[in-house]
Structures are given as C-alpha cells and as structure tokens.
Amino acid sequence: MLALEEAVECLLHHTRSITETERIPLLTSTDRILAAPLSAMADQPPFPRSPLDGYAVRGQDTEGAKKDFPKRLKVIGAVYAGEVFCGTVKEGEAVRITTGAPVPEGADTVIRQEDTDYGREEVEIYRASFPYENYCRQGEDYRKGDVLFEGGMRMDGIGIALAAGLGKEFVEVYRKPKVAVISTGDELVQPGIPLQPGKIYDTNRHLISGRLLDFGITPFASLHGRDDAEEMAETLLELSGKADLIVTTGGVSVGEKDIMHQVLPLLSAEKLFWRVEVKPGAPTLAAVLGSTLLICLSGNPFAAAANFELLVRPVLGKITGDKRLEVKRHRAVMANDFIKPKGTRRFLRGYAEDGKVWASAGNHASGTLSAMAGSNCLIEIAKEQAGAGKGDEVWVYLR
C-alpha cells in the first residue's frame, strides 16, 4: 500500500511527456501547448507610427504655436495607414497623416487635427508639440528577437493575437494526448438504453471522458468492457502502444469479478502498484503496457472521480505540459463540521470560495453521484484526525 504522494511519484516516473510536434493554423491553436517560443522576427511597430489623425511635422516648427498665434505650414502631401510617404518633411512643411500611418522622414511628431484648421494646401497649427511627443517609435512595442510567449505556454486569445502580430499563420504545438477510457462491469448499461433490473447506467465512462473534455482532451477511445478478463486483455493490447494513457474504472477490488488482477498477467504487464492509502478509491491499480501507462480506478463513482483528480490529473499534466492540469492545492478554513473515524486519509467533496471551504451536505458515500454537483474541490482530512471542525485549516484540491 503506497501513500498518495508515492503513488503519484511512481506514476510520473513512468509517464512520458509528449515530444512530437505539429504545425497547425493559428486560429485552431486555442488551448494547445506551444512547442517553440513566439519570437519577434521584426520590430513592432515596424516603422515610426502616428498615434493619431493630424499632421506630421518637425516639432521645432510648432514652437510657440497658440490658437491666437498659429504657425502656418505648407502641406506637401498625405499618408494614410497602410501607405508610405515617399518624401521628406523639411522646415515649414507638414504631411496630412492618419492613425497608424508611418511618420514620414524628417517629421518627428504629429499635431492632432483638432489643434489645426484642417487645411489642405496650408495648415494652421494651434498648439506646439515637442519632438517625439506624438510619435510611436519603431520597436517600442517589441524588438526583433524578443520572446513574446515562451515555449510550453498554453495558447489563448492573447497568444493568438501576439502570434498574428508576428505574421504567423501557423504555430508549432505539441501533438494532442491520446487517452483511452474504459469502464468495466456487467451491471453497466449505456445511456439511452432502457434499464433492466439489477443494472445501472454507466456514469464512470462519462465522468472520466467528461473530465478529459473539460481539459480540452477528446478521448482517443471511450469504451465499456464486460467482466471478462480475456476480452479486456485484448482491448488493452489493441490500445497499448497507441494511447499515451489508458484509464479504466472498476474491477480492481478483491472479489471474483475484479478482473483487472487477472488481466495484467495475461498481458505480461509490469504492475506498478495496487492499493493507495486514500479513501475513497484505495484499490487503485497501476501498470505499464509497453509504452502505455494504465491506471485502473475503483468503480465507485466518487472514488473514480476523486482519484482522477489525485492520480490521473498530474499524469495528464506531465504528458501534455499543460499547467492547468497541475494540482491546485491550497489551505482553506472549514466552514462546517465533518466527522470521520481515525485511521484513513479521507477526501470529501467540498465547495471552496474566498479561503473558506464547505464539506458538501448530504451523502459522502463513495457510490453517490449527486453530491458532486455544486462541488468544486476535494477536502483532505488527515489519517490521524477524527474529522475537521468549523474553523480548522485543511488542504483543498481545486477542480
């Protein structure tokens, strides 16, 4: 029986991070992990740029300009955003300019059009400007070679905008993880099929698949298997070497229908551990099948849910490099009481907000589902404690 931390360490030791990359269109890169940094291939802005609509001038030519003592300059042309003015602004001259247009050679500032008479041949300037006062310098946002977004970062709207600014139509990202989900148990029926006596609906396959989807991971396979060791061995053999990770639920306890114990020898799989010192979900089993890690969770729905967060999530974090998947463990103060016997390290459903945490009302049995709605974390109650009272500090693991 391993401590939780030992089990996580063992799993991570046998987890291979994705190294294969692919080039994908920029607007499909949301939530993907960048394989290479986004670095500037040119200065931004790539040229000195006007920050407003007005007249590009030499600042010294506007010295002392006032509404009742305007400076008069000759308008030698116009430049709109997207164009270039092919001339030089000399003493006493101005060029009509719009926001975002390159400031012509010779000019060093822009006079806001509201501070002029909007002249076309000649313009009256009503307000002085220092050189470089209204002037975006080339490279003031970033310089050629600057790294804007580090490799390993998760792409989002800001990352997409920055990459677009660098002119990147495609970005290099790590490939998606391949995670297979298999629920086991003859009692499980798939949603949509009428329930016969003694049967229940297959929540675990949906829970594990649904949590993967929460992290943007579409399951590589999402299957249900019968309580048949040979059939299960065949399915696992088919997936091993293809999937990065296989997560199963059920069949790991000590009963005769707990088939996963029979499956591993059939596959000559390397067993890593069986049983972790946590409640719920102690009988968790882990193994390596060729290059594929296999984590077999207990079939009790909350046990599967809790150990997905505690054991599977860190593995997904290492496989993908996605920092969202790192365990979010914080101290919080209990807002109500929970009593448990000493001797087991217990994880409860809870709701955490603003440093406080409430143990979910109702049934904490590992078979119950309903207490998961409205819960956003696990609360840990240490082995040596007989519960936690209002005001006690506990560890919470945020979902």
CB 288, min distance to its own copies, A: 26
How many residues touch its own copies under the rule CB under 8 A: the total is 95
Closest to 351 measured CA to CA, from 378, 331, 329: 378
In this complex, which beta carbon is closest to its own copies, that of residue 71 or of residue 313? 313
Measured between alpha carbons, how far is 316 from 306 in angstroms, rounded to an integer?
15
Site string for its own copies, 71-90 (x = CB under 8 A): --------xxxxxx------
List, as one string, the DSSP characters of 179-235: EEEEEE-TTEE-TTSPPPTT-EE-HHHHHHHHHHHHTT---SEEEEE-S-HHHHHHH
Which residues inside 262-321 make contact with its own copies, applying CB under 8 A? 299-301, 305
Chain position carrying tokens 């091993």: 240
Q: What part of residues 86-125 is at the interface with its own copies (CB under 8 A)? A: 98-102, 113-114
| String marking each residue 208-237 x if it binds its own copies according to CB under 8 A | xxxxxxx-------x----x----------
CA distances from 349 to 7, 38, 321, 343 (A): 21, 40, 27, 19
The least distance separating its own copies from the CB of residue 147, rounded to whole angstroms, comes to: 9
Which range in 163-171, 229-237, 269-277, 313-321 contacts its own copies by CB under 8 A? Answer: 163-171
Q: Which of 74, 206, 224, 275 binds its own copies (CB under 8 A)?
A: 206
Question: Considering only 172-180, 200-208, 262-270, 314-322, which stretch makes contact with its own copies by CB under 8 A?
Answer: 200-208
Strand 109-112 with 54-57, pairing: antiparallel
The smaller minimum CB distance to its own copies, of residues 62 and 366, is found at 366
Binder to its own copies among 207, 239, 264, 377 (CB under 8 A)? 207
In 3D space, the residue among 40, 76, 32 whose CA is nearest the CA of residue 57 turns out to be 76
Nearest Cα residue to 300 out of 364, 223, 227, 214: 364
User: Which residues is 279 bridged to in the sheet?
Assistant: 346
Contact positions with its own copies (CB under 8 A) in 36-75: 42, 44-47, 49, 51, 53
